[in-house]
Amino acid sequence: MTASPYWNRRRIVMFRLLIFLVFIQLTISACPNGWLENGNSCYLFSNDEEYWTGAFEMCRIVGGHLVEINDDTENKFIAAQASSTGRQYWLSLTDVVEEGNWVWMTSKMPMTYSNWNMGEPTASFHGDFEDCVDMYTNGKWNDVTCTTRKFYVCEKENESIDIIG
């Protein structure tokens, strides 16, 4: 018994599709287990609280850096996680070097995007300098003393691997 022309055509189409898929470039996420992918970055949301300097160091230890937020899309992603956990998270933003000059500590780049809460940043609270920044659960930013314990977000580049068949 011979196969019908329909099945032969279908096999040819399936074979061609398979060949096509073998030759196209596929990208596989390289975010480590426990990290969330968004755009070109991977994010790790801590389950422990640290002072700002401790959060900075913990992110370095796990192979990333304390998060730097560059645009509204990234801020919304972080804010969604903050909202879902009900936690406030440290950001890498600080003016510890020069009061009022906000810089991302890892890249040493000045802040070009911000999402300050109304009335923020404030220079001090009860005589303590507020040189570090955290994110509220609504995505707004707040300057606070660096010795407050907060959760933190680590970021690292998504090292996607390209597979060419």
User: For residue range 108-133, what is the model confidence (pLDDT) as tens digits?
Assistant: 999 999 999 999 998 655 556 899 99
- The average pLDDT across 41-64 equals 98
Helix (H, G, I), strand (E, B) or coil at 94: strand
- In this predicted model, what pLDDT tens digit does every residue of 1-25 receive, in sequence order? 556 666 667 666 555 644 444 343 3
Measured in whole angstroms, how far is the alpha carbon of residue 82 from the centre of its chain?
12
- The average pLDDT across 83-91 equals 98
Whether domain 34-160 has CATH 3.10.100.10:
yes
Helix (H, G, I), strand (E, B) or coil at 152: strand
pTM above 0.85, yes or no: no
159 pLDDT tier (thresholds 50, 70, 90): confident
Question: Where does residue 133 rank: exposed (0-12), middle (13-18), buried (19+ CB within 10 A)?
Answer: buried
- In this predicted model, what pLDDT tens digit does every residue of 91-112 receive, in sequence order? 999 999 999 999 999 999 999 9
- In this predicted model, what pLDDT tens digit does every residue of 63-85 receive, in sequence order? 999 999 999 999 999 999 999 99
- The average pLDDT across 40-60 equals 98
Domain ranges within the chain, ordered by starting residue: 34-160
